[in-house]
Structure 1
Amino acid sequence: MTVYVAEISGRGIAAFDAANDIEAKAQLADRGFLRDLIVLQNKGRALWDGVSEIHVRMATPEETEIWQTSRAAAIPSGEESDDEGRHVFLVPVIDPSHDKFDDDDDPHDDDRDGD
């Protein structure tokens, strides 16, 4: 397997493994992955605008190391995984849809009911 990167506007966004270039390009059509690119944000902006071209390229050694480290952390020692194609984001991301349902982070929650 080779590690590839989905690149948007010249920036490596996500690393993943694939058997070859054709399979890597096919992964860019995955609906779940495309949804993540539209929903997840970096620096207050969506990773992808839904229009810009997404390029696929081979990962740099640094990107490959990030992917391998993430994969190793996700798989307990000694266990095999058929986790082929798992995407590892190369930029910090947040999911703003989680914030809409999470009131536990509001420091004023305890004060709303009065003294």
Structure 2
Amino acid sequence: MPPREPGDEPGRDPGLQGERTALSWTRTALVITVNALLALRSGLVSGQLALTVVGVVLLVAAIGAVLYGNVRGRALAGHGGHQIPPAAPALPMSILAGVTLIACAAGVASVLVRH
């Protein structure tokens, strides 16, 4: 078997990577939305403006996660296995990690706040 040239590599088969990526972003957005609704409810019932603001911010972040997940899923699916898709930028991943941390804290705070 002759040695392969650099351009002779077989196409990469990503399978359903794009769909899995979009679904994972959607699941993350769902979790953020649930925590946002908990924070909003607790903030409105207890009259705490800070908790209400956190709930609104988390709802906006959930919408952003859904939109970015769709864009990223299309980018991965659009490569058709002929080349390696570009890596996800670090900034959206860092923002999502921070938002998820805030969502967890808001969920805990909404449970611990006395009504």
> How high is the TM-score relative to the length of structure 2?
0.28
- Higher normalized helix content (fraction of residues): 2
Determine which structure has more spread, i.e. the larger CA radius of gyration. Answer: 2
- Higher normalized strand content (fraction of residues): 1
> How high is the TM-score relative to the length of structure 1?
0.28
